[in-house]
Amino acid sequence: MDPAALHRVEAELVAYLHPAHLGDPGAGVRAALNQMLLRYDDELGGAVVAYAGERLRGELGRVLPGLPFVRAPAAATLQLFTPFVGCRLAGTVDTVGGDYLKVLVLGVFNAVIPARHIRAEFQRAAGADRWVHRGDPGHTLEEGKEVSFRVLEMTERGSYFHMTGSLMDPDLGDVCKLYPAYAAKRAALNRAREVKEQAAAGERAKSGGKAGPAAAVRVNTKITFDGDRGAAGAEEGQGKAKKEKKQKKEKEAKKAKKKAKKEKKEKKEKKEKKEKEQQPPSAGGGEVDWAKVSVKLLKKAEGQKLPKKQLFKKALKKAGIVETSPWSAQKHMAAWEAALTANERVAFGKEVSLCL
């Protein structure tokens, strides 16, 4: 890859912080830088693929009426991808079309190499999605291969850009085939990565599947640099996705709990309503003659002072009522009290004190 297409710059910028970030302005600066990642910027002349050393370079501005965002002067080291017409780039073949190759540079930026810009030494293999070199059948252009190409055209589309490439130069094509030393270095790196992943898998198996230090390192939302090879990248947004998933799960659980509580309440109310409609007045059926019961109790309680509750219990027992629900008791008490009129008490000679 042309060194001029991937370089670092010390940049000064202005971030406008949401009031929520006033307690941690650094987090607000990082949020602003994250918005710039992988987007084309005219002032920078390319796309930011990584950043490091973000910091404030002055005091924060004031919160003004009608403008709640706070001005924060900041600075950071940016890793820029700035391709230009004529530069050489390397990317991985993503799609082999009928008359083109689609290549991903740095894993994210699209480039298309039309068939008319692939030199005549290559021909499309019959019945296969690959191009094969006429003089060297081992030199192929197929999905997953890393190829070098020259940029012929740059097309900007808002915050994104598109590249058109060419393979007309004789030293362009399969990078591993054209540069054996690079191929050996890359194979060694791949082997080292596989050994590291196998060791990490073994540690996780020994610890019963619990995440160890290696897993903790991977969960790093900040994009960092990887020496002179460009941006190493990171799992941007992984922490945010986990947080959103957890919040969604908690919200659904809360909603389900609230729904169950409501259904339980409605079921209880429905049961009580049905009980009111179907509740018999007494165990023996029919209406109770509370006047007759009252007469018997008045004779027996003449000259006594009995609590209302005690007298009512005796009335229930004499009437042969065995229900104990609050609604039934309230209903029977109202009927019983109506029967205990002053006339009935006077007719038997003395008042009965109910100690109400």
SS3 155: strand
pTM of the predicted protein model: 0.52
Confidence at residue 303, expressed as pLDDT on a 0 to 100 scale? 52
Q: What is the pLDDT of residue 201?
A: 87
Best CA proximity match to 13, nearest among 83, 160, 31, 4: 31
Nearest alpha carbon to residue 95 among 79, 80, 77, 113: 113
Instruction: Write down the pLDDT at residue 302.
Output: 53
> Considering the chain, what is the average pLDDT of its residues?
76
Q: What is the DSSP letter of 33?
A: H
Region 209-225 average pLDDT: 40
Strands 140-142 and 130-133: antiparallel
Q: What mean pLDDT is predicted for residues 93-111?
A: 91
pLDDT, tens digit, 9 for 90 and up, residues 235-248: 444 566 677 778 88
Q: Is the dihedral of CA 112, 117, 122, 126 positive or negative?
A: positive
Residue 188: pLDDT band with limits 50, 70, 90: confident
The span from the CA of 99 to the CA of 305, in Å, is: 110
The model's confidence at residue 274, banded by pLDDT at 50, 70 and 90, is confident
| Cβ-contact 33, 76 below 8 angstroms | yes
pLDDT at 306 (0 to 100) = 58
Per-residue pLDDT reduced to its tens digit, 120-178 = 999 888 878 888 998 888 889 999 889 999 999 988 877 888 899 999 998 898 888 88
Q: Which residue has the higher pLDDT, 289 or 19?
A: 19
Task: Give the C-alpha separation, 6 to 90, whole Å.
Answer: 12
Judge contact between 297 and 348, C-beta under 8 A.
Answer: no
